[in-house]
Amino acid sequence: MTEILTSLIAFIVALGLLVAVHEYGHFWVARRLGVRVLRFCLGFGKPIWSRVAGKDPVEYALAAIPLGGYVKLLDEREGPVAEHERHRSFNAQTPTRRIAILAAGPAFNFLFAIAAYWLMFVTGVTALKPVIGAVEPDSYAARASVVAEDEVIRVDGVDTPTLMDAQLGILSGIVDNGQVTLDVRGPDGETRQAVIEIDGDRRRFTEPGELFPVLGLTRWHPTVEPEIGDVTPDGSAAASGLRAGDLVLTADGEPVVTWAAWVNFVRARPDSTVVLEIERDGVRQTMDLAIGSLLTETGLIGRIGAGVNLPDNPYGPVLTEQRYGFVAAAGEAVERTWSMSVLTLKMIYRMITGDVSAKNISGPINIANAAGMTASAGLAAFLSFLAIVSISLGILNLLPVPLLDGGQIAYQLAEMVKGSPVSEKAQLVGQQVGIVLLLLLMSVAFYNDIVRLTS
């Protein structure tokens, strides 16, 4: 329940902030160009709060459905306008000025992303280095001669100081042409190149969370000994006499080398009794362990009610910190915003051509879940999440779809070419097409959310 509440609050805060930034872009540029703003509203539907303020009165409102917002401008097409204010109506502006107002919303989303990344880099963000864990035999990675503990230092000539940088670079290369050139540093310190070539359908590589598994890679994990940490008082481990600090050596005569191996052993033996050899206070001894059970979505698994005794900072060898001065952070922020924008556009284009999985389209449920997780992970993670969603919001609104800013900009460009406004009939047809496209997009997004929840 706490996780759901955290996700809901983080979602409302994130979406409200990003929508406010977007709409403020329209508001700010319209006011600077002398266009009358009638209403600034966050949310859709019936207003639950409103207030009129300012020398040039504007109604500020909050509506019941927190999934968007709008800025209402004075416009003769939406109602009568007093003669002395006609020059302040949106429709009376030149196409160039109208485009400036329409484009300001997405532009402010990109500026917000830069600001979020800048703050993240100034305060510092701890990230994982792109060090490879296990490599599946005869996988794409293995055929490219990638081996365990290789560190990816460049992808297609671009430096990759973090795991995310490497993943995004590899994904971009696969989306582009199915070939990626990696510069890797091996465990021996030697640098070499590895070329990954993808044949056939590329969509499976672009499904959420599937890039490394399909390539045959795992990210590096520390090797943790099977030493017992906290023991739940009412668990079967405590009932059998297992204590914190016990080191599991063998189970039913099988050597147990890592905590992961121990977990797999226990999970595979629900409601059974096994013989352990453990080391306690430097002395070896044997004992019987009764393994309990837990019913999960995937079936019955073994459970004993004991956690691992983790060493201090187990991920220390693969951690890196990205921290820059005020000026350098600005350059990094602009670069990150640009690269994420380019990748997003590639993904959208390749989704249309069928080369990228439509499962990447996320709806409000998945976004809320991501908002909650990143908010719980700390400021840097939440800022990164806000930046990515802000970029996506900016690009989405620039698509040439009627009802979106990009579609309205297309109308203005058409007017500049033909010398007269697009006919009302054409705009009405465009709106109907836009509604259908947005409903289709929303349907796919909600379907993906439901599949993720039930899978």
Active-site positions read 23
Q: Which residues pair with 247 in a beta bridge?
A: 227, 279
- Identify the helix (H) or strand (E) that includes residue 82: none
Q: Are 447 and 358 within 8 A, CB to CB?
A: no
Instruction: Tell me if residue 312 falls in helix, strand or coil.
Output: coil
Q: How far apart are CA 268 and CA 256, in angstroms?
A: 14
Token pair recorded at residue 27:
């508001």
Residue identified by tokens 């993906």 is 448
Long-range interactions of 246-252: CB distance < 8 A, separation 24+: 246/278, 246/279, 246/280, 247/278, 247/279, 247/280, 248/276, 248/277, 248/278, 249/276, 249/277, 249/278, 249/279, 249/284, 250/276, 250/277, 251/275, 251/276, 251/277, 251/289
Q: Are 181 and 195 within 8 A, CB to CB?
A: yes
Token pair recorded at residue 106:
């997405």
Q: How far apart are CA 310 and CA 226, in angstroms?
A: 9
Dihedral angle of Cα 10, 12, 18, 20, to the nearest 10 degrees: -140
Name residues whose C-beta falls within 8 Å of residue 20's C-beta, 6 or more positions apart in sequence. Answer: 42, 69
What is each CA distance from 382 to 36, 104, 432, in whole angstroms? 35, 24, 36
Secondary structure E strands in 297-416? 299-303, 306-308, 319-322
Q: How far apart are CA 166 and CA 424, in angstroms?
A: 49
